[in-house]
Structures are given as structure tokens and as C-alpha cells.
């Protein structure tokens, strides 16, 4: 009874204090992932149902990824200029239409073109979601909010992959239509329940369009985070591209790979919330270093795997890294982003993952074909070590994310005042963003949480 009470209390503390708008955004994310079909079954649809070659399927997958890369920055600019809500509505409605169309086109050129559009539309919502979440959630609750959102993504993905497998056995077209309907439901939720969260400008502050893509590119500290994010993403992508190829080459069946990789989704669903409670008030710099090393060496251990059980054990190691890295790194991106430039900053961060999804398949295939899978896993360990060292150096110069002030302080400080309208709209009383400046204390300087 005591343990049940503790569990209930832990769950209540995990979900309490977050605004209603966050939960509608969370619901939209969950529904969207529950309808996931294209990304999971595109290759099988093209090769088994349509009879195209594996080479053509790879080309279509690459075009889908290229669309995501191209839309990342554009969607980030839209998020800042026209707002979070309009960008979300355009992205989700476009995704629904393009996914439905993909289920009916038959010409190979048309399929490739529509897949490119699907990649653009589906990736365009990510900068808007992350920016809106940063707008509506208090700074001290952001790690918890990002973690809950990541949990929803993986819960939806785990359920959708199982359901989509049964749907695909009967009709791939039904799968495409189901994803289109679910995505349109997300758009409806956004339209009905989510108000615009874009921070309101205060008289006397800099124009919002003063933060351009050039500003992001000149932000060396933030671009360092983007570069390290790309390295970590290269590692995590190997779970979907390098691992199945290596297991197949070693004589394991697709079912064996399915059993091993299923551990990833199960662990995230089970552990994301309790791990978040553990890391929520810990030094983000150390968490990022540890997660990079766990990711690199978790995949590195795959070189010694000779059974499905050992493969599953290595998945456990890098999944723990994923659970820690995802909310912590997203929180760092928000911390380094000016309020009126969050869309552009999130777009650049999203692009690092999109580019990694293009590079990882090429890299893993080349290394495995020429040198063997053991070299790929060794490279993962090296990349993880480099990323860990990079985070250790970078986080020494990153300031605290928040400063506790009164609204009177916000009235006298134009930089702090930038966040005051958004804070007031959320009903907060004292906590607003502080200036990201070299003069503020460094993260971890006191040995504890920056919050």
C-alpha cells in the first residue's frame, strides 16, 4: 500500500503544475504519433505492395528526409513571423493531405515527389511545437514538460507500429488514410483548443525580426550545441539503420531485430517519467556528457553481441542515454534561444536531426560494406566520446536559464521585460527568463540545478 501511494504521489507531482494548453499540445502530439504509418512502413509498401526495387525505396526515403531538412529552417522562420499556431495548422493540414495523396498515387515519379512533400510537411510542425511549449511552460518546469512530450511520442509510436503491422497486412491504403485522419484531428485540436503563444512585444524592445537566420548562425555557442546534437543524432540513428543491417548480415531474422529494438520503446514508456524525476534538478552539463558517452559506448558494445539477448542488453544502455538526452538537450536549446527567435533556433536544432537522418544510412552502409559492422560500432564509441568532451567544454560557458524577479523588476529591465507578457498570460507571479549573458553564473557553478 505504501509503494502504491508513493507511485501515485510521484505521478501526481510529475503531471501537476503544467498549464492546460500544454496538455492539449501533448494530446495533439500523442494523437499524431498514434497515426504514424508512412515513416515505419514506406519501404515495405514500395517493395512488397508496389513491387519496386530496394534502390528505389531508398531513394524515396532519402527524398522524404530531404524534405524534412529543407522545411526545418523555413518552418522556424514561419513560427517566429506568423506565429506558432498558424504554423502548426498549416503543417498538420498539409501533412494530412499529402499523406492521403501518397496512398493513391501510382506513378514512381509522383510517389517520389509526394514523399518529398510529406517529409516537408510532417517536419514543419516540430519547431512550432517546441517553441509553443517553451512559451506556455514555466522555465523551471520545461525539462519535465519536454520529457512528458517525448514520452507521448514514444508511447504513440509503440502503439502505432503494432497496429500498423496488422493494418498493412490488409491494406496499405487504409494505413495512409488513417494517418491522414489522425493528423487532421491534431489540426482540429490545435485550432479549437490552443491559443497563440507567441510572446507579445513590449514598447521599446528590439523588433522581433531583428533575430534572423544570420543571428542564429553567428551564435557560436548555440551552433556548437547544434553540431553536438548532430553527432549524438548520428549515433541514435544507428538503431534504425545500422543495427538491422548488421543483425541481418550476422544471420539474425527480422523478428529477432524486432524483439531487440522493441526494448527501446518499452523502456522509454516505462522509465521516461521516473528518470525525469531523477534528472529534473541536476546539472544539465553532466547529464549531456553522460548521455553522450552512454550512447556511444552502448552502441559500441554491439560489437560483442552474439545473441538476441545481448543485442537487447545493448539497446537498454543506449535507450537510457536517449531518455536522459532528449529533454535535457531540448531544454538547453530553449535556454539559449531569445524569446522572439525561438522558432528559428528550434528550426536549426531540428535540422541537425534531419541531416543526421540523411547521413546515417549512407555512413552505416558504407562502413559495414567496406570494413564490417565492428568498425561501425567502434566509430559510434569514438563519436560519443567526442560529443561528451564537446558538451563538457561547451557547458562551462553556458549561463543559468532563469532568474527569479518580481514584475517590478521586469518593468525596469527591458531585457527581462521581454518575457513579462508571456509570463503574465500564463498566470505566473515571479519567475521570468533572465538574460542569457556571459555575466550570469554558469550552469553547475554551485554544483546543483541551474533552476
pLDDT band at 202 (very low <50, low <70, confident <90, very high): low
Give the C-alpha separation, 47 to 297, whole Å: 34
Domains of the chain: residue spans and CATH:
14-198 (1.20.1250.20), 209-401+436-451 (1.20.1250.20), 402-433 (no CATH)
- Residue range 94-110, pLDDT digits in tens: 999 999 998 899 899 99
Beta bridge partners of 403: 432
Give the C-alpha separation, 131 to 141, whole Å: 14
Distance of alpha carbon 337 from the chain centroid:
16
> Is residue 289 a contact partner of residue 388, using CB atoms and an 8 Å limit?
yes
Helix (H, G, I), strand (E, B), or coil: what is residue 1? coil
Q: Is the pLDDT of residue 390 over 60?
A: yes
Q: What is the pLDDT of residue 307?
A: 92
Beta bridge partners of 442: 399
- Helix (H) or strand (E) run with residue 433 in it: strand 431-433
> Is residue 146 a contact partner of residue 153, using CB atoms and an 8 Å limit?
no
Lowest mean pLDDT among 132-146, 242-256, 307-321, 416-430: 416-430
C-alpha cell at 384: 560519443
* DSSP-derived pairing of the beta strands 402-404 and 431-433: antiparallel
Q: Is the pLDDT of residue 427 over 60?
A: no
Give the mean pLDDT of 395-416.
45
Q: Is the pLDDT of residue 292 over 90?
A: yes
C-alpha cell at 97: 493531405
Q: What is the pLDDT of residue 440?
A: 28
Averaged confidence pLDDT in the chain: 78
| 286/431: higher pLDDT | 286
Give the mean pLDDT of 244-268.
82
> Is residue 448 a contact partner of residue 283, using CB atoms and an 8 Å limit?
yes
Q: Is the pLDDT of residue 430 over 70?
A: no
Give, as one character, the DSSP assignment of residue 48: I
pLDDT band at 433 (very low <50, low <70, confident <90, very high): very low
pLDDT band at 408 (very low <50, low <70, confident <90, very high): very low
> Is residue 158 a contact partner of residue 88, using CB atoms and an 8 Å limit?
no
Amino acid at each position: 500500500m505504501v509503494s502504491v501511494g508513493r507511485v501515485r504521489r510521484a505521478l501526481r507531482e510529475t503531471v501537476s503544475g503544467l498549464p492546460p494548453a500544454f496538455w492539449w499540445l501533448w494530446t495533439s502530439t500523442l494523437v499524431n504519433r498514434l497515426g504514424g504509418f508512412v515513416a515505419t512502413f514506406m519501404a515495405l509498401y514500395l517493395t512488397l505492395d508496389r513491387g519496386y526495387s530496394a534502390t528505389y525505396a531508398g531513394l524515396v526515403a532519402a527524398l522524404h528526409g530531404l524534405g524534412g531538412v529543407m522545411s526545418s529552417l523555413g518552418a522556424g522562420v514561419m513560427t517566429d513571423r506568423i506565429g506558432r499556431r498558424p504554423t502548426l495548422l498549416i503543417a498538420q493540414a498539409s501533412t494530412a493531405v499529402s499523406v492521403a495523396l501518397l496512398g493513391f498515387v501510382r506513378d514512381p515519379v509522383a510517389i517520389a515527389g509526394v514523399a518529398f512533400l510529406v517529409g516537408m510537411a510532417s517536419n514543419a510542425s516540430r519547431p512550432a511545437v517546441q517553441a509553443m511549449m517553451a512559451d506556455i511552460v514555466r522555465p523551471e518546469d520545461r525539462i519535465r514538460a519536454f520529457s512528458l512530450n517525448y514520452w507521448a511520442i514514444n508511447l504513440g509510436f509503440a502503439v502505432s507500429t503494432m497496429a500498423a503491422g496488422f493494418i498493412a497486412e490488409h491494406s496499405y491504403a487504409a494505413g495512409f488514410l488513417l494517418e491522414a485522419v489522425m493528423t487532421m484531428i491534431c489540426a482540429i485540436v490545435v485550432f479549437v483548443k490552443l491559443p497563440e503563444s507567441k510572446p507579445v512585444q513590449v514598447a521599446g524592445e528590439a523588433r522581433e525580426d531583428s533575430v534572423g537566420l544570420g543571428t542564429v548562425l553567428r551564435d557560436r555557442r548555440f551552433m556548437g550545441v547544434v553540431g553536438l546534437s548532430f553527432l549524438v543524432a548520428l549515433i541514435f540513428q544507428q538503431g534504425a539503420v545500422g543495427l538491422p543491417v548488421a543483425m541481418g548480415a550476422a544471420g539474425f531474422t527480422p523478428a529477432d531485430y524486432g524483439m531487440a529494438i522493441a526494448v527501446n520503446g518499452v523502456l522509454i514508456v516505462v522509465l521516461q517519467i521516473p528518470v525525469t524525476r531523477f534528472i529534473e534538478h541536476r546539472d544539465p552539463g553532466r547529464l549531456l556528457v553522460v548521455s553522450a558517452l552512454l550512447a556511444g559506448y552502448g552502441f559500441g558494445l554491439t560489437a560483442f553481441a552474439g545473441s538476441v539477448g545481448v543485442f537487447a542488453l545493448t539497446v537498454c544502455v543506449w535507450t537510457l542515454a536517449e531518455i536522459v538526452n532528449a529533454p535535457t538537450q531540448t531544454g538547453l536549446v530553449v535556454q539559449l534561444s531569445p524569446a522572439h527567435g525561438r522558432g528559428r533556433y528550434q528550426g536549426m536544432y531540428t535540422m541537425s536531426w534531419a541531416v543526421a537522418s540523411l547521413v546515417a544510412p549512407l555512413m552505416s552502409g558504407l562502413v559495414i560494406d567496406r570494413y564490417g559492422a565492428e568498425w561501425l560500432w567502434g566509430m559510434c564509441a569514438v563519436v560519443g566520446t567526442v560529443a561528451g568532451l564537446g558538451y563538457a567544454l561547451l557547458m562551462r560557458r553556458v549561463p543559468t536559464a532563469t532568474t527569479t524577479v518580481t514584475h517590478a523588476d521586469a518593468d525596469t529591465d527591458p531585457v527581462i521585460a521581454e518575457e513579462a507578457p508571456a509570463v503574465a498570460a500564463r498566470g505566473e507571479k515571479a519567475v521570468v527568463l533572465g538574460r542569457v549573458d556571459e555575466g550570469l553564473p554558469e550552469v553547475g557553478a554551485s554544483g546543483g540545478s541551474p533552476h
